[in-house]
């Protein structure tokens, strides 16, 4: 008597061997003997292996069409397909060279387009950042000049109602150089610059304020420059130098075309 790996029902299995069988998916399958697999499982494995071999054989056959070329070599050939197609069309060497040149230029342009777009985006952002930095720098410079003018206005006795006018004028005539606020052409400090405005803008000062009341700057009422030919005054020059220091005195003298220590008024 021979045993089967699979029986339709348990009743068909010989009585002495029924304990070796197990019902699976409506059938009775031999499972009690180690190493013995049901025929269906063997068939499944064999079918899968056969399919894999056939697919491998088919793939190998396709690759043989390319000879000894590797997949990378195939990609490189495909990339040059349009170029090779032009070459296959024939023509004179000059015509082929011209066609290939046009093709390469078009290909290069296509490759450069995303790079150029990215470059343009960076350029736009850089311009925006530069503009922001410039605006910040201008605001900071304006703030520094305003602060210095306000401090100088108190020092020279500028009328409170004239401060805003002085700020507006100072934005055009003053600059910040190495952290110092000076006039653009004559390098006057803010207080001396304000003093120089007394002749042209006397309404910036209260009429009742005298030179002595403004802290003894050495400037006569009305803001006359004691180094100028018209208002030459050695006593006032000395007072100004003592009150403001030699550097500012030199600036005032230079503004009048003279110098500290000069004994005669400047020539016309």
- Helices and strands in the chain: count of H runs, count of E runs: 8, 5
User: Environment class of residue 211 by beta-carbon count within 10 Å: exposed (0-12), middle (13-18) or buried (19+)?
Assistant: buried
Give the total residue count for the chain. Answer: 268
Task: Kindly indicate the confidence band of residue 214, based on its pLDDT and cuts at 50, 70 and 90.
Answer: very low
Q: What is the pLDDT of residue 18?
A: 80
DSSP assigned state of 13: S
* pLDDT at residue 66 is higher than 50: yes
∠ CA 207-209-215, nearest 5°, is: 155
Question: Is residue 224 within 8 Å of residue 211, measured between CB atoms?
Answer: no
Q: What is the pLDDT of residue 145?
A: 95
Question: b/e for 19-42, b at 16 or more Cβ within 10 A?
Answer: ebbeeeeebbbbeeeeeeeeeeee
Q: What is the pLDDT of residue 58?
A: 72
C-alpha distances in Å from residue 181, one per residue of 37, 82, 148, 226, 237: 99, 68, 7, 24, 24
d(CA 197, CA 156): 11
Task: Kindly indicate the confidence band of residue 137, based on its pLDDT and cuts at 50, 70 and 90.
Answer: very high
H-assigned helices in 174-215? 190-196
d(CA 266, CA 268): 7
Question: What are the DSSP calls for 212-254, one per residue?
Answer: TTTT--SPBTTTB-TTSSTT--HHHHHHHHHHH-HHHHHHHHH
Question: Is residue 195 within 8 Å of residue 219, measured between CB atoms?
Answer: yes
Instruction: Give Cα 82 to chain centroid, integer Å.
Output: 40
d(CA 248, CA 260): 10
DSSP assigned state of 69: -
Most confident of 172-186, 201-215, 218-232: 172-186
Question: Is residue 125 within 8 Å of residue 171, measured between CB atoms?
Answer: no
H-assigned helices in 92-199? 93-156, 163-173, 190-196
Q: What is the pLDDT of residue 14?
A: 85
Question: Is residue 6 within 8 Å of residue 40, measured between CB atoms?
Answer: yes
* pLDDT at residue 31 is higher than 80: no
Run of H or E residues at 177: strand 174-177
> In whole numbers, what is the pLDDT of the chain averaged over residues?
79
Summarize pLDDT for 68-87 with one digit per residue, the tens: 667 667 666 665 666 666 66
* pLDDT at residue 211 is higher than 50: no
Q: Which residue in 244, 204, 208 sits closest to 227, CA to CA?
A: 244
Instruction: Dig out the tokens for 259 from the structure.
Output: 């110098």
Residues whose CB is less than 8 angstroms from the CB of residue 103 and which lie 6 or more positions away in sequence, other chains included: 82, 83, 86
Look at 52-66, 155-169, 178-192, 213-227 and tell me which has the smallest mean pLDDT: 213-227
């Amino acid at each position: 008597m021979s045993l089967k790996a699979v029986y339709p029902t348990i009743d068909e299995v010989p009585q002495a061997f029924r304990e070796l069988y197990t019902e699976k998916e409506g059938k009775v399958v031999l499972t009690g003997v180690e190493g013995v697999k049901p025929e269906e499982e063997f068939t499944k494995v064999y079918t899968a292996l056969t399919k894999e071999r056939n697919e491998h054989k088919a793939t190998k056959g396709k690759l043989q069409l390319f000879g000894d070329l590797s997949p990378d070599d195939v990609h490189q050939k495909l990339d040059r397909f349009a170029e090779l197609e032009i070459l296959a069309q024939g023509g004179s060497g000059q015509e082929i060279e011209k066609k290939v040149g046009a093709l390469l230029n078009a290909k290069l342009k296509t490759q450069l387009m995303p790079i150029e777009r990215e470059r343009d985006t960076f350029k736009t952002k850089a311009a925006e950042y530069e503009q922001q930095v410039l605006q910040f720098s201008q605001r900071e410079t304006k703030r520094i000049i305003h602060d210095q003018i306000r401090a100088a206005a108190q020092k020279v006795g500028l009328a409170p109602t004239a401060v805003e006018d002085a700020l507006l004028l100072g934005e055009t005539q003053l600059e910040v150089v190495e952290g110092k606020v000076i006039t653009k052409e004559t390098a006057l400090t803010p207080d001396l610059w304000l003093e120089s405005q007394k002749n042209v803008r006397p309404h910036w000062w209260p009429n009742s304020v005298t030179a002595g009341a403004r802290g003894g700057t050495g400037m006569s009422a009305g803001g006359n420059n004691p180094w100028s030919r018209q208002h030459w005054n050695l006593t006032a020059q000395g007072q100004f130098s003592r009150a403001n220091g030699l550097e500012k005195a030199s600036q005032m003298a230079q503004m009048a075309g003279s110098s500290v220590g000069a004994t005669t008024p400047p020539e016309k």
